[in-house]
Structure 1
Amino acid sequence: MSVTGTERVEKSEPGLREITYTICPVPLGSHVAVEKGWLEEELAAVGAAPRYIRSRPEHDWPTHFTHQLPDFFRDGGNIPAIWARSRGEKTRVVGLTFSGTGGRIIVAAHARFNRISDLRGKKIALPRRADTDRIDFWRATAERGILLALELNGLSGNDVEIVELISHGAGFLPPKPAQKPLDAFDAAQVNVVSGAEVEALFTGEVDAIYADFGRAKILEGEGKVKAIEDLGHYPDWTLQVANTPHTITVSADLAENNPEIVVAYLKAAIRGGRWINENHAEAGRLFANVTSYRCPIGAARVLDGYNFVPNLTGRSIAGIEVEKRFLLDHGYIENDFDVHQWVDRSFLEQALALLDGQVGTGTSPCRAEPACTAL
């Protein structure tokens, strides 16, 4: 039986510094870097080795949200990253990927609602985690999406009945150990569209819910729901901020004391992003196993129009500010901070410069990603 890179790390190769990482179940270059062995390769070149968060003891798993482990990388939704920074965790943003679609407002397929204005006086679900040990990113994303959809159609939260639905448990990811993200998320596929708000929609307890694009497409594909609003179909790009842009954050101490490790991680993520850009069909097959896009063809289509190479463009950074402001204004975080001071461009610039001198590493024809990565 072959041994994967993460399995080798579990045996703690002599002389390699262990670096813990976590990746959210969304299309990201970091996922490709893990599956292709590029993350292990790049880190080994600077004397380090990757270890997936769920291969550690279970009490370390909340670090996916809290960012409290040392020598830690996180790639994924920006809401937990913003929350951790606002609580005082010393982190740096070293890369962003903006591939959001904003989400949709969906209703039961048989419902006589065809537009948001039809929901005046009706019930819209807003999920809430029973546990308060970490930020409720699902609720924050849903609340912003709902309020935006209402505003775009001349309504406000006062024109509908917001029904809070409490959810218990860990969510869609089973509480089991895993050696890498694929092991954890592949087994979770059956649960990605579950939730108190989905059940309430089907039983008629509520009339509409917010759903991210992947979740909505699965339910639409099953013929159970229809969308009456799509935040991704407007020219206003800020409407697509929905736990996106995805952030690559790293422990500040690691960044300051071992910048070569941060550059190595980013080199792997860039290689992964470039590979996605050039191999949508194959990437779709991978992401069908580590995201909510169950169908490989559908997952591949979602990739169209986006650049998955990590960037730090003005728009991506502004997107983080948009998200932070909403979280602050609606009580999800208590402490403000300067987003621009949180971002450090030096690591990404160096990683790109080093890769542009290499051959055969999944390079992209777009050679200056920070300048041309508008999406």
Structure 2
Amino acid sequence: MTLKNAVSQIWYTRCPVPTPVGLATQLGLLDEAFAKEGITLSSIIDSKDRAIRSSHFDHHLDYSFRHGGNVPPIRARSEGNPTRLVGITWTDEFQAIITLPSSGIKTTRDLVGRRFGIARRPPGIVDFMAATASKGLVSALALEGLTHDQVDIVNIPLTDSVLDGREGPQLYGLRNRQAYGPEIAALLRGEVDAIYVKGTPGISVANLFATHTVVEFGFHPDPRIRINSGSPRILTVDERLAEDRPDLVATLIGTLKRASAWAEAHPDEVRRFVAHEVGASEEVVAAANGPELHKHLGIGLEPDLVDAIGHYKDFLHEWGFLAGNFDIETWVDRRPWAELETRSAA
């Protein structure tokens, strides 16, 4: 009982993308579930303290959980940070290679010998956007039996860390800067011939500049083509929470399953909630995530989902985005799911 009373606050964070955590937060389900345990939830990414916000990427805070893109937590695990993988959500989204209509690039095969731009952040936090663009390029080329060696990869250097620039007049009062600005600028300046974009920001910027879509593969039938930083997204908890209070991790997962079930019955509301989460219009959300978004906000830990994360982990290691390799199964923690089954049986 002493252990149960020891936790009064849990840190949490999620990416500005469609997730059950984002949905459960907006519905008030998470606050309600943890308030019953006498626990307050505090947002990592909304903290004014840079050291706390950095846990969104390196997962260093005790008694915390994270749901979102998989590159930072995979990197954190490769560095030895003690975390557990407890849930996976697969929500497909728009993924494409785009170019300017004047480039002469019409199909994927036209990319051979051309310049593909990848934005690169300074050393520090894992460069998850560069990892995402790299996998997007590899997936697109693979559809035509091509490899990245046949394309001229050009780095687009960025000067600021992903933790910087969350305040100031350059945001014009918005929460975040529009993604893909440097990539589009390089495209317009003629420094690169093509770039990768994804999700709601990707479809918005492609629309804004009336770009030509070389290839779109976010909904391709082969999951290994679709696998990337956001497909699938993962739920991770730190080791202290997993070991000291597995009951709370089970409560977390159970609450997310409630949110997922609610989503399946409320497609219109889901689109509206996700639009608020990602900072886009409902029209953009529908275009980027498809008409059945409400059916793809579930949470699970099935073998095929774990295999997908393992596949992407191996890609990240091969491309030098990880500190070292590790066995994906040693990261997975199925105990909270067993606890949920026990509760259901009772």
TM over 0.5: yes
Aligned residue in 1 for 2:159:
168
Asked if 2 retains the 8 angstrom alpha-carbon contact of 1:167 and 1:195, the reply is no
Aligned residue in 2 for 1:209:
195
Instruction: Tell me the TM-score normalized by structure 2.
Output: 0.88
Q: Give CA-to-partner distance per residue, 1:237-280, whole Å, 9 cap, x none.
A: 11111113111100111111111221222222222222222222
2:73 to 78, 81, 84: 81
Q: Percent identity?
A: 29
Measure the CA separation in 2 of the matches of 1:173 and 1:218. 23
Aligned residue in 2 for 1:7:
none
Letter in structure 1 aligned against 2:273 = L
1:36 and 2:27 aligned: yes
Deviating more after overlay: 302-311 vs 28-37: 302-311
Asked if 1 retains the 8 angstrom alpha-carbon contact of 2:180 and 2:202, the reply is no
Q: How far is the alpha carbon of 1:23 from its aligned partner?
A: 0.3
Measure the CA separation in 2 of the matches of 1:68 and 1:283. 31
Count of residues paired in the alignment: 334
Aligned residue in 2 for 1:315:
304
1:47 to 21, 35, 38: 38
Report matched runs for 1:303-342 at 5 Å.
Answer: 304=292, 306-342=295-331
1:116 to 108, 116, 129: 108
Aligned residue in 2 for 1:3:
none
Letter in structure 2 aligned against 1:96 = I
Asked if 1 retains the 8 angstrom alpha-carbon contact of 2:89 and 2:233, the reply is yes
Q: How far is the alpha carbon of 1:154 from its aligned partner?
A: 3.3
Q: Give CA-to-partner distance per residue, 1:23-46, whole Å, 9 cap, x none.
A: 011101111111121111111222
1:140 and 2:127 aligned: no
1:267 and 2:263 aligned: no
Asked if 2 retains the 8 angstrom alpha-carbon contact of 1:102 and 1:239, the reply is no
Compared CA separation, residues 88 and 163, structure 1 to 2 (3 A):
same
Asked if 1 retains the 8 angstrom alpha-carbon contact of 2:180 and 2:205, the reply is no
Q: How far is the alpha carbon of 1:109 from its aligned partner?
A: 3.5
SS of 1:50's equivalent?
Answer: strand
Q: How far is the alpha carbon of 1:235 from its aligned partner?
A: 2.5
Aligned residue in 1 for 2:225:
239
Measure the CA separation in 2 of the matches of 1:171 and 1:355. 42
Q: How far is the alpha carbon of 1:222 from its aligned partner?
A: 2.5
Letter in structure 1 aligned against 2:8 = R
Aligned residue in 2 for 1:286:
273
Instruction: Tell me the TM-score normalized by structure 1.
Output: 0.82
Letter in structure 1 aligned against 2:254 = K
Measure the CA separation in 2 of the matches of 1:15 and 1:312. 28
SS of 1:214's equivalent?
Answer: helix
1:227 to 210, 213, 216: 213
Computed over aligned residues only, the root mean square deviation of the Cα atoms, in angstroms, reads 2.6
Measure the CA separation in 2 of the matches of 1:197 and 1:234. 24
Asked if 2 retains the 8 angstrom alpha-carbon contact of 1:172 and 1:188, the reply is no
1:258 to 245, 253, 265: 245
Deviating more after overlay: 195-204 vs 240-249: 195-204
Asked if 1 retains the 8 angstrom alpha-carbon contact of 2:94 and 2:202, the reply is no
Letter in structure 1 aligned against 2:308 = G
Measure the CA separation in 1 of the matches of 2:121 and 2:178. 16
Measure the CA separation in 1 of the matches of 2:204 and 2:48. 32
Measure the CA separation in 1 of the matches of 2:311 and 2:111. 27
SS of 1:55's equivalent?
Answer: coil
Aligned residue in 2 for 1:93:
85
Q: How far is the alpha carbon of 1:355 from its aligned partner?
A: 7.1
Measure the CA separation in 2 of the matches of 1:106 and 1:52. 35
Measure the CA separation in 2 of the matches of 1:80 and 1:331. 14
Aligned residue in 2 for 1:181:
none
Compared CA separation, residues 298 and 352, structure 1 to 2 (3 A):
farther
Q: How far is the alpha carbon of 1:317 from its aligned partner?
A: 0.3
Q: How far is the alpha carbon of 1:173 from its aligned partner?
A: 8.0
Q: Give CA-to-partner distance per residue, 1:293-320, whole Å, 9 cap, x none.
A: x221332452516421210111110111
Moved over 6 A (4+): none
2:141 to 147, 150, 155: 150
Asked if 2 retains the 8 angstrom alpha-carbon contact of 1:46 and 1:264, the reply is no
Asked if 1 retains the 8 angstrom alpha-carbon contact of 2:58 and 2:76, the reply is yes
Measure the CA separation in 2 of the matches of 1:133 and 1:220. 29
Letter in structure 1 aligned against 2:267 = H
Asked if 2 retains the 8 angstrom alpha-carbon contact of 1:79 and 1:137, the reply is yes
Asked if 1 retains the 8 angstrom alpha-carbon contact of 2:166 and 2:175, the reply is no
SS of 1:169's equivalent?
Answer: coil
1:17 and 2:4 aligned: no
Measure the CA separation in 2 of the matches of 1:328 and 1:68. 21
Asked if 2 retains the 8 angstrom alpha-carbon contact of 1:43 and 1:49, the reply is yes
Measure the CA separation in 1 of the matches of 2:144 and 2:202. 20
Measure the CA separation in 1 of the matches of 2:239 and 2:82. 5
Gap runs ≥5 in structure 1? 1-13, 178-183, 358-375
Measure the CA separation in 2 of the matches of 1:248 and 1:165. 31
Q: How far is the alpha carbon of 1:210 from its aligned partner?
A: 0.7
Aligned residue in 2 for 1:249:
236
Measure the CA separation in 1 of the matches of 2:236 and 2:18. 16
